[in-house]
Amino acid sequence: MRCLLATPRGDGGPWPGVVFFSDIFQLTEPTVRWCVRLAGYGFAVLAPEIYHRLEPAGTVLGFDDEGKARGQRDAETTAVADFDADAAGALAFLADHPAVAAGHGLGVAGHCTGGHLAFRAAFADSVAATACWYPTGLHDGKLGADPDAGSLAHAGEIGGELLMVFGSEDPHTPQAGRAAIHEGIKRSGARFDWRVLEAAHAFGRDVGERYDPVATDVAFAQTVALFRRRLSTRESATNRDMIEFLWAWLDAVRRRDEEAVAAGLDAEVVWQGLREHLVCRGAAEVAAMFVAGYAAREEIASVEVVGGDGHVVLGVHAADLGEVDGIRIGAELYNVFTVENGRITRVEDHLLREGALAAAGLNQAA
């Protein structure tokens, strides 16, 4: 299996490793540029030729009707088990490569058909973070020669974090399809962030009329942030433990298990809302407030968690989170958690991500 390996300039490695799966056209110039760009942010990026079983090494398909038909035919000829075997091989190769930092989870990313392949690769225990850009076939099971890949039904096997990115004008995964994917992942309990940008399918391919540089930069920044957060070789064990603690606590909130939620809170915990008079004190009161808040907002699309230096920032994203005490929240709300000795001692609400990160003393690029 022929692969591209892109690494950062210089001798600063080893680096966190990311496997990237291309769209149906294989390693085109736009795909290579995307991989090189990601490598420039401090990652070793491995991109295999997804049709190596069918096409001669080095085959790159054109962005025309002939290339599209050939790529689609190759996709429909390859068994899902073969795609999975290739993903496992790529992950194993990258994990053992001297350019890749040992002892850390790997990242996976993919576009279009490659986004679906990345989703399946995330089932592996070695994968800590996955970014799927406009993945096709997740909602209807279409992947490869199999009648139904059944990928979405296995979302619960994903142990790392997911970033799902779609274009709002994507005909391959329309709104109903996106809703089915969102519900399936949410029901599985997997950790995921969800973004729908005002763009077409394949908006990240930097050629052609569908290319959207604004949407690409937004999605790329989120992808880099995810990989830095989950794959960083510099992040301390304390920070990782703190983030894992908050994820487990959030699971209890989602289950509406007030006893488990209260167990993660300091007895004297204080929650400070968006206005000065919006305050809750004590583990029982704060636990009840969080559980009730999540129960009242079933439309929550996703959450993100960023941590460091005794603080964790939780971002909640939805189509519309309504208002609190006359303050219009909109689509996002951020909580800054202070964690001491394995317990949450303080929570502060913020409307803006930048303000929350600043309050937590975290880098704005986190």
pLDDT of 5-18, one tens digit each? 999 987 777 999 99
Query: Could you give the 3-state DSSP secondary structure of residue 96?
Result: helix
Angle, vertex CA 348, rays to CA 347 and CA 349, nearest 5: 125
Stated length of the chain: 366
Residue 359 is inside which H or E element, if any? helix 353-360
pLDDT above 90 (res 242): no
pLDDT confidence of residue 299 = 53
Provide the pairing of β-strand 343-350 with 265-272: parallel
Going from the C-alpha of 132 to that of each of 36, 56, 351, the distances in angstroms are: 18, 27, 27
Confidence class for position 236, pLDDT limits 50, 70, 90? low
Please give the radius of gyration of the chain, using alpha carbons only, rounded to the nearest integer.
21
Highest mean pLDDT among 66-75, 102-111, 220-229, 288-297: 66-75
pLDDT above 60 (res 276): yes
24, two tokens: 């149906």
pLDDT confidence of residue 363 = 63
Highest mean pLDDT among 103-107, 110-114, 189-193, 244-248: 110-114
Provide the pairing of β-strand 279-281 with 265-272: antiparallel
Higher pLDDT, 269 or 229: 269
Cα–Cα distance measured from residue 160 to residue 286, given in angstroms and rounded to the nearest whole number: 28
End-to-end CA distance of the chain: 35
Kindly state the average pLDDT of the residues 297-325.
70
Is the entire prediction scored with pTM above 0.85? no
Output DSSP code: residue 146: B
Q: Could you give the count of Cα atoms lying within 13 Å of 150 in the half-sphere of its Cβ?
A: 8
Cα–Cα distance measured from residue 164 to residue 162, given in angstroms and rounded to the nearest whole number: 6
292: left (phi over 0), alpha (psi -120 to 50) or beta: alpha
Kindly list the structural domains of the chain, giving each domain's residue range(s) and its CATH number in brackets, ordered by start.
Answer: 3-231 (3.40.50.1820), 237-360 (3.10.450.50)
Confidence class for position 240, pLDDT limits 50, 70, 90? low
pLDDT confidence of residue 319 = 67
pLDDT confidence of residue 353 = 85
CB distance 303 to 193 below 8 Å: yes
Beta strands in the chain (DSSP E): 3-6, 17-21, 44-48, 106-111, 127-133, 161-169, 191-200, 265-272, 279-281, 300-308, 311-318, 323-324, 327-328, 332-340, 343-350
pLDDT digits (tens, 9 = 90+) for 86-101: 999 999 999 999 999 8
Confidence class for position 358, pLDDT limits 50, 70, 90? confident
Q: How many CB atoms lie within 10 A of CB 11?
A: 5
